[in-house]
């Protein structure tokens, strides 16, 4: 098992790219291209970063040209650039998102899929083209076209990618969730956008068990009031389709059509491509509309330059179709990558299932969540000792801040010469504000830096930049992947309230962050979950970073409880199997927090719980727990993967009345 006592010292980097690696990597070649093409003085990455902000229009034009975007950029690259809500990138451009992803033909793999140990298959580029062509024709035959919505409740399988590409090819707006969403959760999302077509699977596998969704689909479909297409995966698609008023299987919908070259509708840069949803744990989810052009440029930049994704690379992200990382993964096709898809539990049939997949298919990039890295560390899984990961050059982690212990484990338990990148952004921008940088060292507990073209900073409550102090993560200049807006928000009031009311003409992300001495960043958690004991702001991630180093603690969640005209810190812990919270363990936890963080971080109470509520994408929901503890209703339990866990905190509320 990984031993934290052997962790690298915090005063030296965990990984330092070599001179040859820095010289030959894509982000360096792109910097040299920009310096030559635009006669800019760009001697190093820091100069390049600043230039990409100061000359944003030129920079994003360079991304377009260097990455070979298919389309017409038009004469203008940016208008109204100084006013974030009015800024428009490439206002005269025309392109098609799907055309820029379906860039290859031939027998080589485009998509590789595994559904736990139950299902596996692969599609060539030719097969992907063929399937998209037939789906495109089927969608048009159903009367779908520009601006219509297609909603999908689908697993992360090749058919889901193909349906999305067919939708994008004709200008239809795509929105998806995973099949583990409950009936109300599906309706809360898709009911707002009034789809013309609902795509669903018949069943899916999770943790070795068949999960039939037929009853749920039969309840949801009439309320959406649209046509339904059932994709056969793990159940009886024909029977489910036959039971619906306007249902058909994907096979039945596409069989009348013969594959031909895919046709691509040329659309404006800002044409809506996706509708994604906020987590919805404090109310009905916000419907966030993202553009085709902004999504494409941001993902090309992040894949090629920040993640080193190249032609033919095997790109993997552990995600569902309900998390923004699925959309991010799909865009990897635009870099010529082979997408490695996985659906199901990452611990079925064993905790090595993803590493078996990585070794056998020779992944180049492995993406996952911080919770997964922590889980395998505590579970004694060390791929370094058991798997050949020689082709793996990049590991990314997101979803929540990764502890310093997790950073060390990547290098001591997975691969010592990998570029590890903790990344952070969100559904709000369908990309990252801060992420990896192949020319910079990796420091324990730190995100390497901002994305190119993004004017990221940390501000205090008065709107002043701060260094080496905690504050609000902001972006002070417009960028292409800002949302088009929110659905059904014609005047933009909800959009402005979400991101621009805190600071004038500045994007407020809602993350509590800090610059480091290495010009990296640390995300300390969500601002709305920040604790304020004695008026001092504390990020919950700072507490998790300490607690999760203890083998006795499997998982934790921390909130602030209103108490005697102040706030006190309450820590809930889910312990390792067979353990109970006694006085000795409680003392050990408090000592670890006191010595590793500060006395202010030490919780007033520690309470053991059997489970911790989380969203469908695996994020713990501090706000929902806080509402329960204070006796307030949780507005949208359907957004949770395990809403029953909230009952444990309702019971614990009695212990917190003392």
Q: What pLDDT, on the 0 to 100 scale, is given for residue 536? A: 65
Q: Which alpha helices (DSSP H) does 441-512 contain, by range?
A: 493-499
CB–CB of 223/187 below 8 Å?
Answer: yes
Position 13 in a domain: yes
Buried b (16+ CB within 10 A) or exposed e, 163-187: bbbbbbbbbbbbbbbbbbbbeebbb
Specify burial of residue 364 (Cβ count, 10 A radius: 0-12, 13-18, 19+).
buried
Q: Are residues 619 and 576 in the same domain?
A: yes
495 and 363 belong to one structural domain: yes
In a shared domain, residues 414 and 560: no
For 52-66, write each residue's pLDDT tens digit.
Answer: 999 999 999 999 999
| Whether 518 and 534 share a structural domain | no
What is the spatial distance between Cα 411 and Cα 123, in angstroms, rounded to a whole number?
A: 33
pLDDT given at position 403: 85
Give the DSSP per-residue string, 284-303: SPPEEEEEHHHHHHHHHHII
* 579, 443: one domain: no
pLDDT of residue 597: 76
Average pLDDT for 402-426: 94
- Let me know if 261 is exposed, middle or buried by CB neighbors in 10 A (0-12, 13-18, 19+): exposed
In a domain, 149, yes or no: no
pLDDT for position 502: 92
Average pLDDT in the 408-425 region? Answer: 96
Total residue length of the chain: 658
pLDDT tens sequence across 477-497: 999 999 999 999 989 999 999
Give the residue, 383 or 600, on which the prediction is more confident. 383
pLDDT tens track for 168-215: 999 999 999 999 888 888 998 999 999 999 999 999 999 999 999 999
What confidence category does residue 278 fall into, taking pLDDT thresholds of 50, 70 and 90?
Answer: confident
The pLDDT of residue 340 is above 90: yes
- The pLDDT confidence band at residue 537, using thresholds 50, 70 and 90, is low
Residue 1's pLDDT band, with cuts at 50, 70 and 90, is very low
Average pLDDT along the chain: 92
The answer to whether residues 343 and 473 belong to one domain is yes
Whether 113 is covered by a domain: the verdict is no
Structural domains counted in the chain: 2
Residue located via tokens 């969608």: 139
pLDDT average, residue stretch 225-231: 98
pLDDT band at 7 (very low <50, low <70, confident <90, very high): very low
**Does any domain span residue 459?**
yes
Q: What percent of the chain clears pLDDT 90, i.e. is strictly above it?
A: 77
Give a yes or no: residue 349 inside a domain.
yes
Residue 137 lies in a domain: no
Query: In terms of residue numbers, what domain contains 539?
Result: 530-657
Please tell me the number of Cα atoms within 13 Å of 269 on its side-chain side: 25
Mean pLDDT of 611-621: 83
The residues, any chain, with a CB within 8 Å of residue 588's CB and separated by 6 or more, are: 550, 552
Task: Please indicate whether residue 641 or residue 265 has the higher confidence score (pLDDT).
Answer: 265
Q: Residue 261 above 60 pLDDT?
A: yes
Contact 179, 160 (CB under 8 A): no
505, 563: one domain: no
The last residue of a domain, from among 501, 523, 545: 523
Residue whose tokens read 């940016």: 78
> What is the DSSP-derived secondary structure letter of residue 640?
B
**Domain identity same for 501 and 608:** no
Do 351 and 471 sit in the same domain of this protein?
Answer: yes
Average pLDDT over every residue of 137-165:
98
470 located within any domain? yes
- Indicate the pLDDT class of residue 5, thresholds 50, 70 and 90: very low
Three-state DSSP class for residue 251: helix
pLDDT score of 292 more than 70: yes
Residue 283: the pLDDT is 63
What is the C-alpha separation between 631 and 351, in angstroms, rounded? 38
Same domain, 541 and 595: yes
Instruction: Give 522-535 pLDDT, tens digit per residue.
Output: 998 887 777 777 66
Q: Is 588 left (phi over 0), alpha (psi -120 to 50) or beta?
A: alpha
Q: The domain spanning residue 613 has which CATH number?
A: 3.30.300.30
| Of 517, 585, 575, 573, the residue nearest 544 (C-alpha) | 573
> Cα-flanking dihedrals φ and ψ of residue 153, to 5°?
-110, 90
If asked whether residues 498 and 600 sit together in one domain, one would say no
Same domain, residue pair 549 and 457: no
In a domain, 298, yes or no: no
Cross-strand pairs, 421: 396
Please report where in the chains the tokens 């006669």 appear, as a residue: 39
Strand, helix or coil at 422? strand
């Amino acid at each position: 098992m990984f031993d934290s006592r052997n962790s690298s010292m915090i005063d030296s980097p965990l990984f330092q790219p070599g001179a040859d690696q820095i010289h030959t990597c894509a982000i360096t070649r792109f910097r040299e291209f920009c310096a030559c093409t635009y006669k800019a003085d760009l001697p190093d990455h820091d100069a390049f970063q600043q230039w990409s902000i100061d000359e944003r229009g030129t920079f994003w034009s360079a991304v377009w040209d260097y990455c070979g975007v298919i389309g017409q950029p038009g004469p203008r690259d940016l208008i109204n650039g100084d006013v974030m809500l009015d800024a428009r990138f490439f206002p005269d451009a025309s392109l098609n998102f799907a055309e820029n992803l379906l860039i290859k033909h031939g027998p080589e793999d485009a998509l590789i899929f595994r559904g736990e140990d139950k299902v596996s298959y692969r599609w060539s580029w030719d097969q992907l083209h063929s399937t998209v062509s037939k789906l495109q024709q089927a969608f048009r035959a159903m009367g779908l076209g520009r601006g219509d919505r297609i909603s999908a409740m689908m697993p992360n399988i090749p058919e889901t990618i193909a349906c999305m590409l067919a939708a994008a090819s004709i200008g239809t707006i795509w929105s998806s969730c995973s099949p583990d969403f409950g009936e109300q959760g599906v309706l809360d999302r898709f009911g707002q956008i009034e789809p013309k077509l609902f795509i669903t699977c018949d069943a899916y596998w999770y943790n070795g068990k068949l999960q039939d969704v037929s009853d749920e689909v039969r309840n949801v479909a009439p309320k959406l009031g649209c046509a339904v297409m059932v994709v056969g995966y793990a159940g009886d698609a024909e029977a489910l389709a036959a039971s619906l008023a306007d249902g058909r299987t994907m096979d039945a919908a596409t069989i009348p059509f013969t594959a031909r070259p895919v046709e691509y509708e040329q659309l404006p840069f800002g044409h809506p491509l996706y509708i994604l949803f906020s987590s919805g744990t404090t109310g009905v989810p916000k419907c966030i509309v993202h553009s085709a052009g902004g999504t494409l440029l941001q993902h090309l930049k992040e894949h090629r330059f920040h993640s080193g994704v190249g032609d033919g690379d095997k790109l993997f992200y552990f995600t569902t179709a309900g998390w923004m990382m699925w959309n991010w993964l799909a865009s990897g096709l635009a870099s010529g990558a082979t997408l490695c898809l996985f659906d199901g539990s990452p611990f079925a049939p064993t905790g090595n299932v993803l590493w078996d997949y990585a070794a056998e298919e020779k992944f180049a990039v492995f993406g996952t969540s911080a919770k997964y890295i922590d889980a395998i560390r505590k579970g004694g899984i060390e791929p370094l000792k058991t798997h050949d990961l020689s082709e793996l050059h990049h590991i990314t982690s997101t979803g929540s801040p990764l502890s310093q212990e997790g950073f060390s484990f990547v290098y001591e338990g997975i691969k010592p010469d990998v570029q590890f990148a903790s990344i952070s952004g969100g559904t709000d921008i369908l990309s990252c504000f801060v992420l990896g940088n192949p020319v910079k060292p990796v420091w324990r507990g730190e995100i390497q830096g901002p994305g190119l073209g993004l004017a990221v900073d940390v501000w205090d409550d008065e709107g002043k930049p701060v260094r080496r102090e905690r504050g609000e993560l902001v972006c002070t200049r417009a960028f292409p992947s800002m949302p088009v807006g929110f659905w059904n928000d014609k005047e933009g009031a909800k959009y402005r309230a979400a991101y621009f009311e805190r600071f004038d003409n500045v994007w407020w992300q809602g993350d509590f962050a800090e610059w480091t001495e290495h010009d990296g960043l640390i995300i300390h958690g969500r601002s709305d979950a920040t604790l304020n004991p004695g008026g001092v702001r504390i990020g919950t991630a700072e507490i998790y970073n300490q607690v999760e180093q203890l083998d006795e603690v499997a998982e934790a969640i921390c909130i602030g409880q209103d108490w005697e005209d102040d706030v006190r810190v309450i820590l809930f812990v889910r312990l390792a199997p067979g353990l109970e919270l006694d006085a000795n363990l409680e003392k050990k936890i408090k000592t670890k927090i006191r010595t590793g963080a500060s006395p202010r971080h030490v919780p007033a109470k520690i309470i053991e719980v059997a489970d911790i509520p989380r969203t469908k994408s695996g994020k713990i929901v501090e706000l929902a727990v806080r509402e329960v503890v204070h006796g307030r209703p949780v507005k949208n339990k359907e957004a949770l993967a395990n809403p029953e866990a909230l009952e444990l905190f309702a019971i614990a509320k009695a212990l917190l009345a003392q």
